[in-house]
């Protein structure tokens, strides 16, 4: 049996010393540097997912919301909605903008509302959700947790406004939009 040939047709100057190919090394280094900048920016939270807080107040209630303003397609995210009643609110309703269902999968609502419905469709043709909860007495706090996932094909700005409404009170509204990055 013959020994395998070691003839690989390698050129020491071209393949090891890179004579004539010196600029190629810098192309690779520049490409890796660009990728490192994107990875560093993502690790610093520049591409979304960090939750922010916002508050809206009215005569009947204070509404506190914690959720991200920018998210990426395909990822799961959470929101916390707190309603602190300043007076008795009979059958309070949380009304969520159409962006909570357009291009999103609503996985969890805790605690579950006593009833769910939709409102008349807005200008985009999508109906906001309206969830009814048990009566809140003055000083009571309702905390609702949501778990959602963005559809991978969703890109753009979505209406994620939230309002608290109830019998005989002026609505407390927190308008907002969420940017969905590709």
CA dist., res. 64 & res. 162, Å (int): 10
State whether 67 and 132 are in the same domain: yes
Both tokens of 145, joined, read 């947790």
State whether 66 and 150 are in the same domain: yes
State whether 86 and 31 are in the same domain: no
Count of residues making up the chain: 182
Q: Is residue 103, in this structure, part of any structural domain at all?
A: yes
**DSSP summary character for residue 59:** S
**DSSP summary character for residue 23:** H
Nearest to 79 by CA among 69, 88, 89, 87: 69
CA dist., res. 146 & res. 64, Å (int): 14
pLDDT at 123: 65
Give every CB contact of residue 103 below 8 A, 6+ residues apart in sequence. 150, 151, 153, 154, 158, 180
State whether 128 and 66 are in the same domain: yes
pLDDT at 116: 92
pLDDT at 138: 94
Q: Is residue 162, in this structure, part of any structural domain at all?
A: yes
CA dist., res. 20 & res. 17, Å (int): 9
Which CATH number do you get for residue 176? 2.60.40.3670
pLDDT at 125: 61
Reply yes or no: is the peptide bond before residue 111 cis, omega within 30 of 0: yes
Task: Concatenate the DSSP letters of all residues of 71-130 into one string.
Answer: EETT-EEEEEEEEEESS-BEEEEEEE-GGGTTTEEEEEEESPPSEEEE----TTS-PPEE
Q: Which residue has the tokens 């963005």?
A: 150
179 pairs with which residues across the strands? Answer: 70, 157
pLDDT at 6: 61
pLDDT at 148: 94
Q: Which residues of the chain have pLDDT under 70?
A: 1-8, 22, 48, 122-126
State whether 19 and 88 are in the same domain: no
pLDDT at 7: 62
pTM of the model: 0.74
> What range does the domain containing 134 cover?
51-181
Count of structural domains, the chain: 2
Q: Which residue has the tokens 């996932």?
A: 149
């Amino acid at each position: 049996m013959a020994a395998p040939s070691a003839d690989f047709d390698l050129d020491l100057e071209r393949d090891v010393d890179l004579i004539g190919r010196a600029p190629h090394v810098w192309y690779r280094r520049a490409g890796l540097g660009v990728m490192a900048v994107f990875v560093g920016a993502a690790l610093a939270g520049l591409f979304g997912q960090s939750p922010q807080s916002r508050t809206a107040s009215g005569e009947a209630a204070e509404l506190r919301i914690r959720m991200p303003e920018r998210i990426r397609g395909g990822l799961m995210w959470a929101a916390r909605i707190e309603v602190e009643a300043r007076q008795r609110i009979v059958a309070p309703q949380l009304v969520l903008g159409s962006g909570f269902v357009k291009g999103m999968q609503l996985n969890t609502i805790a605690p579950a509302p006593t009833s769910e419905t939709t409102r008349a469709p807005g200008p985009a043709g999508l109906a906001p959700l309206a969830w009814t909860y048990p009566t809140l007495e003055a000083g009571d706090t309702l905390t609702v947790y949501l778990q959602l996932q963005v559809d991978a094909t969703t890109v753009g700005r979505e209406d994620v406004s939230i309002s608290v409404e109830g019998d005989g009170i002026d609505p407390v509204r927190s308008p907002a939009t969420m940017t969905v990055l590709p």
